[in-house]
């Protein structure tokens, strides 16, 4: 099992940017697919972005496509989410996730972080 710790959340104005980081420990994530999810108040957790173990394949929810970029640094055992052109509707707790299978990373990843709050003011 992989332990995941998110950081980088905070309060930002609409149109601004934030970069979330996810540091993994317990084992190397170099063979894991990684993803980001978010949960807004009163809503279910939803998929945001995923990246394959090599970083060559990425996938985004339509709501963030063109604004968010997922990346990874296997040497640092870390994954990142660069969020640009933020909107108030992006306000949520953002979670990092990991799974050995890319086919599961967008739906039911095995390992989860505790989340980091992102608040976008209008």
Q: What is the pLDDT of residues 32-74, one digit of tens each?
A: 999 999 999 999 999 999 999 999 999 999 999 999 999 999 9
Please give the distance of CA 8 from its chain centroid, rounded to a whole number. 11
21/68 Cα distance (integer angstroms)? 13
Q: What is the pLDDT of residues 64-74, one digit of tens each?
A: 999 999 999 99
Span 81-118, pLDDT tens digits: 999 999 999 999 999 999 999 999 999 999 999 999 99
Q: Reduce the DSSP state of residue 70 to 3 states and report it.
A: strand
């Amino acid at each position: 099992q992989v332990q995941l710790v998110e950081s980088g959340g905070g309060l930002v104005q609409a149109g601004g940017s934030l970069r979330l980081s996810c540091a993994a420990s317990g084992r190397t994530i170099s063979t894991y697919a990684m993803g980001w999810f978010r949960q807004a108040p009163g809503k279910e957790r939803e998929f945001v972005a995923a990246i394959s173990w090599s970083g060559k394949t990425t996938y985004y929810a339509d709501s963030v496509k063109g604004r968010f970029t997922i990346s990874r640094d296997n040497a640092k055992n870390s994954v990142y989410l660069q969020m640009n052109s933020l909107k108030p509707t992006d306000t949520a707790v953002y979670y990092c996730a990991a799974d050995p299978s890319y086919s599961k990373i967008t739906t039911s990843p095995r390992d989860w972080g505790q989340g980091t709050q992102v608040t976008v003011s209008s």
